[in-house]
């Protein structure tokens, strides 16, 4: 199985998702999208595969979202993608791609639905929250 994570190492949610992927036994392809932004075609493919819109993928916190007036409904999808290409920090993260689908993994435990082995046992997120995913029926006998 091949898993790819569009990752920002400065983001706790992204770090938690990456750690959960690794705890499942996968070593994903890591795309640090701020250093190596996806092409326009790749970004459009990710948005389409997630069944979302460019507007829904915009990140507000810690970005030029307000300064660029991106809440204004005047911006078309193509224009919003132009902004994300010019300012990759506007792309919300982490986006995870696996054979099971493509998803913006917020909260980070949403990544478990994309993994071949979702039973990762107990996982403690950076903020101390405990996540426990067991396969239904596991341990029964």
pLDDT digits (tens, 9 = 90+) for 67-103: 999 999 999 999 999 999 999 999 999 999 999 999 9
In a domain, 81, yes or no: no
DSSP 79-95: HHHHHHHH-GGGB-S-E
Instruction: Give the CATH number, domain containing residue 123.
Output: 3.40.30.10
11 is catalytic: yes
In a domain, 140, yes or no: yes
Q: Domain limits at 121?
A: 1-33+93-141
Q: How many domains does the chain have?
A: 1
In a domain, 41, yes or no: no
Q: Please state whether the predicted TM-score (pTM) of the whole model is above 0.85.
A: yes
Between CA 81 and CA 75 the distance in angstroms is: 10
Instruction: Determine what percent of the chain is predicted with pLDDT higher than 70.
Output: 93
Catalytic, out of 6, 7, 8, 11: 11
């Amino acid at each position: 199985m091949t898993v790819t994570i569009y990752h920002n190492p400065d983001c706790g949610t992204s770090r938690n998702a990456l750690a959960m992927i690794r705890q499942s036994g996968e070593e994903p392809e890591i795309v640090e999208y701020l250093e190596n932004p996806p092409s326009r075609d790749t970004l459009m493919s990710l948005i389409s595969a997630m069944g979302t819109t460019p507007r829904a993928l915009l990140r507000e916190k810690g970005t030029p979202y307000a300064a660029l007036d991106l809440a204004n409904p005047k911006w078309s999808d193509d224009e919003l993608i132009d902004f994300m290409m010019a300012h990759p920090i506007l792309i919300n993260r982490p986006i995870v791609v696996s054979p099971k689908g493509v998803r913006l993994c917020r909260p980070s435990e949403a990544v478990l639905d994309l993994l071949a082995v979702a039973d990762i046992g107990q996982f403690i997120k950076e903020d101390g929250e405990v996540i426990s995913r067991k396969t239904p029926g596991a341990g029964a006998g």
